[in-house]
Chain A
C-alpha cells in the first residue's frame, strides 16, 4: 500500500504554546489529505479536509483559527494547534487517499500523541 508519514509521533507542550504536526505522502501525490482526532476509547473524528493550494474545509464545531492547516505541496500537509490547552490533548491522525484504478483507498500516518500540560 501507499505510505503516509506523520511527525512527530509524540509531543508534550506547555499550555498556551503552539504545536505543528506534519503529514507527508511518501510515494504518491495527495491533492487531498484528512486530519482526524481520536480521544481514548472513541472513534476517529474528522476535523478537516486539507486541499493542496486552497483553504482547508473544516467540520462543524472545529475552530479553524485554532487548528491551522496548510497544504503547500502535493506531498505535505501540516496541522498547527495554536494556543494549546489541556483539553486539546488527544491523538491526531492524518490520512490520504491513494487512487489506484477505479478506487482510492485511505492510508493513515502513524498518528501524533499530543499532551498539553
Chain B
C-alpha cells in the first residue's frame, strides 16, 4: 500500500465548475498536509497547507482534512483552464522540517473551456 494515494485521473471538469481532488494517507501519525500544483515541465508550487481537522479556505481553493478517515481533499471553485495541471498531495509527521514530505503520485486536472 502506498503511503499517500491519489487517483491519477485525468479529472475533467468544465470551466466554472468545482473540481474535487482527493487524497488518502496511511500514516496515522501524519500531522501536516499540503497541496501542490505542478504544471508540465515545471516544479511544484505550494497551494495550500492544512494542519487541523476541518476546512481551510484561500480564495478559490478549499482544503479539507479528516484525520479520523485519513483523508484530505482540495476543492477548486470556479475552475479555470489555467487550473489545468497535476495536483500533488503531500504529508509529513510532526517534525522540525528535517524530513522530506511524502508525495502522492498526483491527479491530473483538465478544465475544459
Contact = CB atoms under 8 A, between A and B. Distances in A.
Contacts, number: 56
Interface string A18-45: 0000000000000110100000001110
Interface of A: 1, 6, 31-32, 34, 42-44, 46, 49, 51, 91, 93, 95, 97-99, 102-111, 113
Contacts of B88: 43-44
B103 A105 contact: no
How would you classify the secondary structure of chain A's contact residues: helix, strand, loop or mixed?
strand
A96 to B, nearest CB: 9
Interface stretch (B37-45, B55-63, B68-76): B37-45
Interface in B20-72: 32, 34, 41-46, 49, 51
B80 interface: no
B113 interface: no
22 contacts: A1-B46, A34-B100, A42-B105, A43-B103, A43-B104, A43-B105, A44-B44, A44-B103, A49-B99, A49-B100, A93-B43, A95-B101, A97-B98, A105-B46, A105-B49, A106-B34, A106-B46, A106-B90, A106-B101, A107-B46, A111-B42, A113-B41
Contact of A109 (B43, B46, B103): B43
Nearest to A33: B100
Interface residues of B, number: 23
Most buried by B among A49, A93, A97: A97
Interface of B: 32, 34, 41-46, 49, 51, 88, 90, 95-101, 103-106
A58 to B, nearest CB: 12
Given A103-B49, A105-B34, A106-B34, A97 B43 contact: no
Contacts of B97: 32, 97-99, 104
A1 B45 CA distance: 10
B44 A104 contact: no
A88 B105 CA distance: 21
Contacts of A91: 41
